[in-house]
Amino acid sequence: MNVSGSWQRAARGAMLLGADGALSTTIFTEMSALAAATGSINLGQGFPDEDGPDEVLDSARQAISDGINQYPPGRGMPVLREAIAAHQERFYGLRYDPDREVLVTAGATEALAATILALTQSGDEVLTFEPFYDSYGAIAALGGATHTTVALRWPDFQPDADELRAAVTDRTRLILINNPHNPTGAQFDAETLALIVELAQQHGALIVTDEVYEHLAFDRPHIPVATLPGAAERTITISSGGKTFSATGWKIGWITAAAELIDAILAVKQFLTFVNGAPFQPAIAVGLGLPDAFFATAAATLRDKRDLLMAGLREAGFAVARPSAGYFVIADAAPLGYADAAEFCRLLPGLIGVVGIPVSAFVLEEHRSEYSSLVRFAYCKRATVLDDAVDRLSRLRSP
Ligand SMILES: Cc1ncc(COP(=O)(O)O)c(C=O)c1O
């Protein structure tokens, strides 16, 4: 059967289709299969291997026992919408009306999809920073938008202001930020965020910000772009409970934005999942209300894991870019004699039993050569697992 159209565009955008149009396996699938087949430590995928706080887990169990098992309201359960609004005010001083300016989604992934599909038309440009989280390109392509990028370069992965200015045009409908950033762990500073707001104002663009790692910042506080002067009314802020509460499988995400933007996004969201995760919604509400100490400890624990893996990678001979937030560290395999990280990642499980992902998986095909020797490793794993990984990595120097 010859299937064509938007699915193929999206698949090409997501790099799932080869040049011949055939379905190809993503590097993520390939590496996870390789990890399983070789019994390797999987530092490829970004999910924690420990459960989140008991209060949150207990609350979900209780909700199931209490019969909260049917469709929740389309915008999300009031208890969660109120907790999201209270969280935005508590941490950032941002005020949103829980009834009109907050929307609960099936993870940040659905929030991104509904936002891009609702707010772009065929031919509009969606500007992202590159490397980029893979769903951005796929959804932009599915909606018929043109995906444009601004490079984030080793080792600090901050955008060049002139390149950013040149990339935003009157065709730019959305400037999509991911702050803190996957895969680099970079955080945009206040000047960069201010420039983004200025350019969005100048060109009539909206800002979409994916802040799923907002509570996992180690060296300096997270700055939501919506807190900058003039930003709030044109910014759609997206986050999720997956990373903060180590519950990536629950897929409870949310959006805060002006009421008319939320309405437009809800119009699309209702036909994607309609609703999701009833018993997890009150549980994430409990999480968002946990004391400050929980959030500080979560970040500090992960910072120690970052330091552990960074030290191990350096010791093994990689050059390492220091991430200031998130789950991932980028290491350059070139000093070890490997110029092609994709090839290196395919060899690594067999060599030492560790899996990473080549950064080329997060960039447009035409830009792969700029990132060719870089590998992303996840450190959101138990310290014992990271110790073992570091031990194995040390064998790269003396196999
Ligand atoms: C930058 C970024 N955005 C969104 C997501 C997906 O979030 P969720 O699991 O809430 O859909 C991830 C997950 O890895 C991510 O890294």
Which domain CATH number covers 171? 3.40.640.10
Of the CA atoms within 13 Å of residue 48, those in its CB half-sphere come to: 22
Residue of 183, 253, 265, 258 lying closest to 212 (CA atoms): 253
User: What is the whole-number distance in angstroms between the Cα of residue 135 and the centre of ligand 1?
Assistant: 9
Same domain membership, residue 64 and residue 146: yes
Same domain membership, residue 296 and residue 209: no
Question: For residue 106, which amino acid is it?
Answer: A
DSSP string, 29-92: HHHHHHHHHHT-EE-SS---SS---HHHHHHHHHHHHTT--SPPPTT--HHHHHHHHHHHHHHH
Residue nearest to atom 14 of ligand 1 (CA): 46
* Residue 83: both structure tokens together: 């907790």
In a domain, 108, yes or no: yes
Express each pLDDT in 141-197 by its tens digit. 999 999 999 999 999 999 999 999 999 999 999 999 999 999 999 999 999 999 999
The answer to whether 246 and 50 are in contact (CB under 8 A) is yes
Query: Is residue 102 helix, strand or coil?
Result: strand
Is ligand 1 within 6 A of the CB of residue 248? yes
Domain limits for position 163: 54-288
pLDDT average, residue stretch 190-217:
98
Same domain membership, residue 250 and residue 168: yes
Mutation choice for ligand 1 from 109, 255, 380, CB with most ligand atoms inside 8 A: 109
Mark which of 265, 288, 311 sits at the end of a domain.
288
Number of domains in the chain: 2
User: What is the whole-number distance in angstroms between the Cα of residue 92 and the centre of ligand 1?
Assistant: 21
Kindly tell me if the per-residue pLDDT of 22 is higher than 90: no
Is ligand 1 within 6 A of the CB of residue 240? yes
Express each pLDDT in 233-256 by its tens digit. 999 999 999 999 999 999 999 999
Residue nearest to atom 7 of ligand 1 (CA): 108
Express each pLDDT in 338-379 by its tens digit. 999 999 999 999 999 999 999 999 999 999 999 999 999 999
User: What is the whole-number distance in angstroms between the Cα of residue 18 and the centre of ligand 1?
Assistant: 25
User: What is the whole-number distance in angstroms between the Cα of residue 142 and the centre of ligand 1?
Assistant: 18
Same domain membership, residue 106 and residue 32: no
Ligand 1 atom closest to the CA of 241, numbered from 1: 10
Is ligand 1 within 6 A of the CB of residue 212? yes
In a domain, 346, yes or no: yes
Is ligand 1 within 6 A of the CB of residue 349? no
Same domain membership, residue 309 and residue 359: yes
pTM of the model: 0.95
State the pLDDT at residue 307. 98
